[in-house]
């Protein structure tokens, strides 16, 4: 049973367990308004599927409790520490009492200036740090909140499928509808814009794109971005480009920033994060940059929801973006070695795979006769290896698994050997 089907069963069982009882209790009472009980969650929560990695963590915990040595290739969480010069910058800043007070909700100007300098140095993009950049508590926060700026109940967002869950959950929280853009191997895992019905495009508010792509590892050429900008202009759609993996690329390949493309700032923004580039997933620091009207709207939402990023972390972010970049090159070489180990190992077991030019993932098809959930369960049960079932990223992720490169090379070698010993092959 897939995750969504399992969720529906749980939801139906939960409904049957809710107490009936009167709608008013005591002097103040509480008004039922058509719900099954006073503790019944809002519909948006009922419709929210279990968070992918929470369920995986539960399975891992159960296997570990049974004494299984787990090799976790499921989470995209860098296993190497944050570079020491960044950590030292945080330590120094945290000692300053000035950083202990409320931060500026849109982010310290020096951090946004560092972001602007980084774009100009690495991509030749000019940005106004005051009006075209807003600091985020990790890019996920901004991706989830951007729909609150533009989506009213019943509005449509264009969502890649498979895709990062925050795109669709943010849409749902705003009352919007996700129109799924299939990412298919036949189209190099790029959405076919010509396949989007005209009536859907006319109702769409936002389009989410993500390259280099999670989970497929696909990359996008300049022509694709140019087509996206033309499409967005025609239908008055705001483009939201998730560029979290733009610095994880191999063998001389340099991913494009959406903002490099002529006309990009007229139609959209780009989200970025320090998480994967500098091994700072736990620090929660990112940004959105681009169209000033969109940036202002996102900053307005944030000012009513959170109080910004701890100032000491922003000082560390300045050091990350402006300081030595040796760690980035070393990180790229490390993931390249791990990518080759995974690809070579799976090829020996019958898989035919292309080598992704970017990201920390390998997107591998599932052998015939299995769903992605069934095959992931088989790997866990038979080999103690955790991977992410593709269905977790949307219906078009079915028949694939995502393999993370965030474990030591020796563990990758062990994982391949365990699959071989368990007789697990693609064909």
Cβ-contact 177, 151 below 8 angstroms: no
Domains of the chain are: 52-81+326-421 (3.90.1150.10), 98-322 (3.40.640.10)
Distance of CA 40 to the CA centre of its chain: 29
Where does residue 183 fall: left (phi above 0), alpha (psi -120 to 50 degrees), or beta otherwise?
beta
pLDDT tens for each residue of the chain, 427 residues long: 443 443 334 334 334 333 333 332 333 332 334 456 668 888 888 887 766 667 677 878 888 898 889 999 999 999 999 999 999 999 999 999 999 999 999 999 999 999 999 999 999 999 999 999 999 999 999 999 999 999 999 999 999 999 999 999 999 999 999 999 999 999 999 999 999 999 999 999 999 999 999 999 999 999 999 999 999 999 999 999 999 999 999 999 999 999 999 999 999 999 999 999 999 999 999 999 999 999 999 999 999 999 999 999 999 999 999 999 999 999 999 999 999 999 999 999 999 999 999 999 999 999 999 999 999 999 999 999 999 999 999 999 999 999 999 999 999 999 999 999 999 999 8
Reading the block at residue 99, the tokens are 């950083």
Residue 208, strand partner residues: 240
Q: How far is CA 315 from CA 142, 276, 310, 349, in A?
A: 20, 18, 9, 47
Question: What's the start-to-end Cα distance of the chain, in Å?
Answer: 23
CB 162 within 8 A of CB 393: yes
Dihedral angle sign, alpha carbons of residues 262, 127, 135, 252 = positive
40 to 9, 44, 153, 164: CA distances (angstroms):
17, 11, 21, 28
Q: How many whole angstroms separate alpha carbon 136 and alpha carbon 47?
A: 26
């Amino acid at each position: 049973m897939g995750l969504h089907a399992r969720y529906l069963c749980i939801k139906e069982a939960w409904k049957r367990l809710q107490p009936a009882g009167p709608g008013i209790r005591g002097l103040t009472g509480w008004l039922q308004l058509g719900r099954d009980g006073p503790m019944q969650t809002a519909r948006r929560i009922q419709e929210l599927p279990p968070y992918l990695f929470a369920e995986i963590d539960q399975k891992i915990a159960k296997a570990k409790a049974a004494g299984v040595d787990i090799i976790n290739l499921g989470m995209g969480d860098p296993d190497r520490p944050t570079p020491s010069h960044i950590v030292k910058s945080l330590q120094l800043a945290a000692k300053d009492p000035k950083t202990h007070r409320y931060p500026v909700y849109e982010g310290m100007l020096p951090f946004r200036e560092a972001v602007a300098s980084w774009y100009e140095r690495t991509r030749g993009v000019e940005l106004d740090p005051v009006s075209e950049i807003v600091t985020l508590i990790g890019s996920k926060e901004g991706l989830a909140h951007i729909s609150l700026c533009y989506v009213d109940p019943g509005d449509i967002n264009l969502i890649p499928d498979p895709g990062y869950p925050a795109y669709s959950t943010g849409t749902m929280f705003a009352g919007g509808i996700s129109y799924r853009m299939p990412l298919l191997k036949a189209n190099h895992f790029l959405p076919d814009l010509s396949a989007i019905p005209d009536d859907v495009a006319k109702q769409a508010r936002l389009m989410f794109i993500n390259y280099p792509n999670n989970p497929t590892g696909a990359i996008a050429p300049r022509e694709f971005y140019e087509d996206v900008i033309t499409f967005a202009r025609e239908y008055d759609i705001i483009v939201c480009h998730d560029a979290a993996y733009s610095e994880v690329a191999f063998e001389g390949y340099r991913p494009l920033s959406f903002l490099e493309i002529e006309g990009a700032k007229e139609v959209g923004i780009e989200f970025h994060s320090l998480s994967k580039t500098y091994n700072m997933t736990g620090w929660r620091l990112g940004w959105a940059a681009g169209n000033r009207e969109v940036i202002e709207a996102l900053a307005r939402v944030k000012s009513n929801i959170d109080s910004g990023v701890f100032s000491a972390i922003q000082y560390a972010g300045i050091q990350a973006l402006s300081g030595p970049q040796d760690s980035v090159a070393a990180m790229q070489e490390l993931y390249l070695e791990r990518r080759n180990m995974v690809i070579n190992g799976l090829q020996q077991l019958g898989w035919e795979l292309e080598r992704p030019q970017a990201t920390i993932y390998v997107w591998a098809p599932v052998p015939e006769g299995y769903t992605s959930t069934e095959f992931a369960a088989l790997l866990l049960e038979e080999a103690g290896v955790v991977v992410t079932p593709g269905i977790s990223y949307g219906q078009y992720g079915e028949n694939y698994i995502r393999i993370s490169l965030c474990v030591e090379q020796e563990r990758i070698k062990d994982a391949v050997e365990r699959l071989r010993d368990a007789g697990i092959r693609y064909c």
